[in-house]
């Protein structure tokens, strides 16, 4: 990222914190009724990737309503084994509805270690969606634990801006897996209300293509 892009990202996040929008988004993740993690059972396992893709998409829309040139970057922790420099000292206080003020903290480097390229190549070799999302979520969990502090809190981890860069990396890896010809048509197995990516109205099928959502990864 250019220096101007890094500054833009932080400036927009600060404005969303001040407006209350950022805290509201954090409260969405704190609501476990959205069933968006594998620890919540088979439905949560299937919803993990599409729900968080919509989560990223919706926050980026809010960011671009403040500054049309802003975007969520990704942190490739397989090659960069440290907190992204632009966020190293950016640990804001966020007011979360129903919880109050949360000041972001970190305890970097706690076990387990960050996933390696080999780890992710192994994940990408999985030939069913369920195996793929299960293994990717395990790697995802390790990053939350490695950052520590607020990021290790399953409910309020989105208050740390690192969360969004981490999840953009997870989303990017899913997009790479989806682009493999042998994985065409391999999607989450959801039915009924579970297909809706609440609190939004979009369904799982709306999350299947990042091209359709209007973004890509360089």
- pLDDT at residue number 214: 97
Q: Does any domain span residue 139?
A: yes
Q: What is the pLDDT of residues 42-68, one digit of tens each?
A: 999 999 999 999 999 999 999 999 999
75-100 average pLDDT score: 97
Question: What is the band of 110 on the pLDDT scale with cuts at 50, 70, 90?
Answer: confident
pTM listed for this prediction: 0.98
* Class of residue 191 by CB neighbours under 10 A (exposed 0-12, middle 13-18, buried 19+): exposed
Q: Residue 51: which CATH number? A: 1.10.1280.10
**Whether pLDDT at 125 is above 90:** yes
Q: Does any domain span residue 95?
A: yes
**Whether pLDDT at 22 is above 90:** yes
Q: Does any domain span residue 113?
A: yes
Number of structural domains the chain divides into: 1
The CA distance from 194 to 106, in Å, is: 33
Q: Does any domain span residue 218?
A: no
Domain containing 91: what range? 3-213
**Whether pLDDT at 98 is above 90:** yes
């Amino acid at each position: 990222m250019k220096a101007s892009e890094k500054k833009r990202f932080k400036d927009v996040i600060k404005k969303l914190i001040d407006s209350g929008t950022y805290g509201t988004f954090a409260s969405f993740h704190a609501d476990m009724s959205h069933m968006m993690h594998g620890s919540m059972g088979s439905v949560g396992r299937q919803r993990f990737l599409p729900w968080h893709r919509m989560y990223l998409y919706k926050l980026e829309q809010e960011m671009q309503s403040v500054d049309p040139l802003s975007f969520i970057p990704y942190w490739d922790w397989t090659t960069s084994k440290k907190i992204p420099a632009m966020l190293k000292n950016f640990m804001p206080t966020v007011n979360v509805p129903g919880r109050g003020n949360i000041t972001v903290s970190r305890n970097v480097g706690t076990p387990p270690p960050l996933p390696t390229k080999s780890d992710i190549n192994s994940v990408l070799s999985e030939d069913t969606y369920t195996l793929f999302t299960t293994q990717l979520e395990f790697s995802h969990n390790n990053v939350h634990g490695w950052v520590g502090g607020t990021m290790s809190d399953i409910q309020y981890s989105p208050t740390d801006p690192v969360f969004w860069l981490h999840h953009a990396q997870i989303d990017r890896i899913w997009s790479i897996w989806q682009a493999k010809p042998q994985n065409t048509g391999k999607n989450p197995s959801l039915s009924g209300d579970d297909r809706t990516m609440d609190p939004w109205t979009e369904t799982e099928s709306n999350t299947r293509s990042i091209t359709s959502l209007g973004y890509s990864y360089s």
